Structure 1
């Protein structure tokens, strides 16, 4: 049995050559992303390794026999170097004509809106492409994208996809909030090739006549608008219409936040996002619809053209997310092999090939959470579904179907859990029940929406279909909401570092090799990985028990400070923040720092003056006193928050301090004036909104 399983593993490895390419290619991308080595070094590495592997064939036979592993190793290094070069080349900052290289304060910028405006709380958001810069009395072509925000009260004229604007305003760098354990927004934007942003009022831009953009994109936007109008007309407003839009075409602007939270709490938020499940349903439907075509070369080619046209059209219509692209590329390979080449390839090879092609086209997908979860879920199902299903021998047909669905959910959860814990720090205990309810219902709803679009020319029939769909969505949302309210439905605040995630995957790999392949060293790998998990957790607990710090968080509109000692924290600031969305940033930071409960000792507070283990902090949120009543107040830090009318020079006459901190909730113009005053007198300052959260370690 051990020999057969090992032979089967080796055979699968040989039949999947892209598995041997994707691993070093992904390693090269990761190394370049985190180290940013010079491209010349990678180019020399690729050339030298490739030449050495080529020359290996001319060595004596006995040398080639003894060192047979060497050419493969050299080629693996070459592939890794190629991945690093692809990532370097994909960065628009390294391409000639990048607008930031030529940007001056007085130049005009010609922009083109690249996607429909998305409504936000106080603005509309879009992505704009830089077309040209006006430098030295002439327009100079440029390239690059930036984030564009248009104030809500200054919309006329209405801006749409393809509109061109002339802007006279300096773009600002996109910054990360720097809160401990917070979402790295800067890294996310960099993965989208976005490095700067613009916030425009009505007087900051001029709309040119005519439009640009792609004809295909315009057609796709018209198709999307048609679908939206049908759903809103026949399904109605409210959470049901928003869910219908998200399920079929991936439009998430109308989704109810409470509904999204319910699906997140039960671990089935993937139902809302357009994923591989949607393309699998579409692919199966297309095969069923085209089954009447006779077998033959020309019929196969026609099937392939129709299937690929519909699949890629749907992928582009829904926004071409990472999971959709993965499925589209996979089904493209399967379709070409089945109907054009008349060959069936290893599913592992098809999966690895799709990942390789997507990363070669857009290497920044490697750090996309959706890309990672999508591929891990598919790989996990391929590896574990059959072994899990065979654990229980069932006779009744309805139980077989139920157990198949449960096996798929369990299999997908195995390899996605570690990365989910790393990103989201929570685990839904009832994910299995939620999947059993939501997957069948969402499948019926998706087919129902397609039928609704087909019946849209017939208002009576379309209205009836819309009523049925609305009821099904309401039932699905209600069931998911009920599951989320059950006791212990969600385990929150799970700390999982990058090292712990690696140990968990190593543990899973060891168990898999021992269980599926019968490889006995896999048991030792699993035991060693389990020990690594325990050590990693113990080291983290020891570190957080010894921590002592003051943290001024980077949150807009609020004052938020934590005085931390060990696993206890004392909060200073606006208590209303805990009822706002900004509280998520504080909770994530406390989870990262291991804050459990309780108030630390050694904390003293008198009004706006606080002292914590020898460090003092003064909060100023209003005007300063007119004169000094005694000697200067001694303090380590002064925090200016909520836009106080303060003259920096007056601070020196009232207080003896080491550092002045400008909170993120102050006006930008006022912060600029304070910075200039501090630089004039040579006094150190810290701008939370620009430099990230302020963290003062106390020893």
Structure 2
């Protein structure tokens, strides 16, 4: 009976690690301490834990609780620093810090346009130009909304547009307990929004793209085109896109509302279930490969590659990345 708590800790060690890490995140979110204090706590904890193995064994065992305290301090500091890295608002180059309404703006679009009611939506990073004409690259992103009536030719991932329209702050919901759109975007590193009509911006000829995102967007677009070719009906094709790729722009609004009303809207969101099916299917297809010389290694490489390609195509959301990482460990554990 006395060993039951120890057995629980051994079976679920993260129960001892998670609270301190979560407390560090909460502490930084609400109190916003100077990051240098967290770095000092982090350094002290690291130095102590490095020094412990060199101490006499009798001291180590008698003062084991002290080691536990410094581990908790380390995790607390790591939690606060994790949020500090994500929070750009204290960075001198953050757009929320240096933007002024008189600045002219060059926006680099970061993702393909998505259809919204009455507009096209995307996100962009911003370069500001003041009266001296010197461009300043900022950190953080803005939401761009284009009027639905404009031609979207030439506007997409990697496009650069130039405009002087004033950026507007993102407003939070007025109702207590409602979804906080401002906070959500803050966690995404998005601080402003702007709505542009046809005569309010200029498309620059040069495109700036990165190889991996461009390849993923191209593969996604081609996959969507294939689904639309072989699946009859916009409603059915939109549902297939959401279930297979996590692409929700073509989902029928009434269908989404029906799923919401029945409490199963999570079914049309990419999650660990989808990754599990991909893992099972790839394992089934590649099972004969195991009989070949070095087949286990080949199978492991293909399964892990397939999982991560799907995770990236599905938008690389936190739940998808978490599932991909966990299944990667499972695959490695099964084959090595």
**Residue by residue, what CA displacement relative to the aligned partner does 1:41-90 show, whole Å, maximum 9, x if unpaired?**
22222233444555667778776555421111122112111210121122
Rounded Cα–Cα distance in structure 2 between residues aligned with 1:212 and 1:282: 33
Could you list the per-position Cα deviations for residues 503-552 of structure 1 after superposition, in whole angstroms to 9, with x for gaps in the alignment? xxxxxxxxxxxxxxxxxxxxxxxxxxxxxxxxxxxxxxxxxxxxxxxxxx
- Post-superposition Cα deviations, 1:398-419, rounded to whole Å, max 9, x if no partner, equal xxxxxxxxxxxxxxxxxxxxxx
Q: Which residue of 2 aligns with 1:580?
A: none
Distance (whole Å) between structure 2 residues aligned to residue 67 and residue 4 of structure 1: 20
Partner of 2:176: 180
Q: Is 2:116 aligned against 1:117?
A: no
Partner of 1:206: 202
Residue in 1 that maps onto 2:253:
257
After superposition, where does 1:82-481 map in structure 2 within 5 Å?
Answer: 82-130=78-126, 132-135=127-130, 136-155=132-151, 157-294=153-290, 298-339=294-335, 342=336
> Unmatched 5+ residue regions in structure 1?
343-699
- In 1, distance between residues paired with 2:213 and 2:62? 57
Determine the C-alpha separation between the residues in 1 that align with 2:58 and 2:224: 70
The number of residue pairs the alignment matches comes to 335
User: For residues 45 and 157 of structure 2, what CA distance do their matches in structure 1 show?
Assistant: 47
SS in 2 for 1:140: strand
Residues 63/229 of structure 1: CA separation in 2 closer, same or farther (3 Å cut): closer
Post-superposition Cα deviations, 1:451-475, rounded to whole Å, max 9, x if no partner, equal xxxxxxxxxxxxxxxxxxxxxxxxx
Residues 1:9 and 1:295: Cα distance change in structure 2 (over 3 Å): farther
Over residues 254-297 of structure 1, what are the superposed CA-to-partner deviations in whole Å (9 max), with x where a residue is unaligned? Answer: 22222222222333222111111111011011111111124688
8 A contact 1:128–1:148 mirrored in 2: yes
Alignment of 1:595-610 (within 5 A): none
Q: Residue 126 of structure 1 aligns to a residue in which SS?
A: strand
57 and 215 in structure 1: CA distance in 2 versus 1, 3 angstrom threshold: closer
Distance 2:151 2:116 in 1: 13
Give the stretch that moved more between structures: 200-209 or 277-286. 200-209
Task: Choose 1 or 2 for highest CA Rg.
Answer: 1
Aligned to 1:267, what secondary structure does the other structure show? coil
How far does residue 6 in structure 1 lie from its aligned partner after superposition?
5.4
C-alpha contact (below 8 Å) 2:95/2:191 kept by paired residues: no
Distance in 1 between residues matched to 2:66 and 2:195, nearest whole Å? 55
Cα distance, 1:56–1:256 mapped onto 2, change above 3 Å: same
TM-score (norm 1): 0.45
1:244 match: secondary structure: helix
Q: Does the 8 Å CA contact 1:127/1:148 hold for their aligned counterparts? A: yes
Q: Deviations over 1:546-586 (max 9, x none)?
A: xxxxxxxxxxxxxxxxxxxxxxxxxxxxxxxxxxxxxxxxx
CA distance in 1, matches of 2:48, 2:213: 47
State the SS of the aligned residue for 1:260.
helix
Q: Distance in 1 between matches of 2:49 and 2:206?
A: 56
2:241 aligned counterpart, secondary structure: helix
Q: TM-score scaled to structure 2, two decimals?
A: 0.89
Shift of 1:128: 0.8
Report what 1:9 is aligned to: 8
Aligned-pair CA distance for 1:199: 1.4
* Alignment partner of 1:45 is 2:45: no
User: Once structures 1 and 2 are overlaid, which stretch shifts more, 270-279 or 138-147?
Assistant: 138-147
Query: In the aligned structure 2, how far is the partner of 1:65 from the partner of 1:305?
Result: 43
Distance, in Å, in 2 between the alignment partners of 1:57 and 1:223 is: 51
- Partner SS state of residue 204, structure 2: strand
Cα deviation, residue 322, structure 1: 2.2
Aligned 8 A contact 1:242 1:255 in 2: yes
Please list the CA deviations of residues 326-378 of structure 1 after superposition, one character each: whole Å capped at 9, or x if unmatched: 11111122223333xx2xxxxxxxxxxxxxxxxxxxxxxxxxxxxxxxxxxxx
CA gap of 1:233–1:51, structure 2 versus 1, over 3 A, is closer
In 1, distance between residues paired with 2:215 and 2:54?
57
Any residues of structure 2 matched to 1:608-627 within 5 Å, and which?
A: none
Is the Cα–Cα contact under 8 Å of residues 89 and 95 in structure 1 kept in the other structure?
no
Which whole-Å CA distance do the structure 2 matches of 1:300 and 1:226 have between them?
Answer: 32
State the alpha-carbon separation in 1 of the partners of residues 53 and 4 from structure 2: 33
Distance, in Å, in 1 between the alignment partners of 2:104 and 2:85 is: 28
Aligned 8 A contact 2:171 2:181 in 1: yes
CA shift at 1:98, angstroms? Answer: 2.4
| CA distance in 2: counterparts of 1:268 and 1:232, whole angstroms | 25
Mind listing any 5+ residue stretches in structure 2 that lack a counterpart? none
How far does residue 233 in structure 1 lie from its aligned partner after superposition? 2.6
- Is residue 110–residue 167 contact of structure 1 (8 Å, CA) maintained in 2? yes
Shift of 1:120: 1.8
How far 1:117 sits from its partner (Å)? 1.3
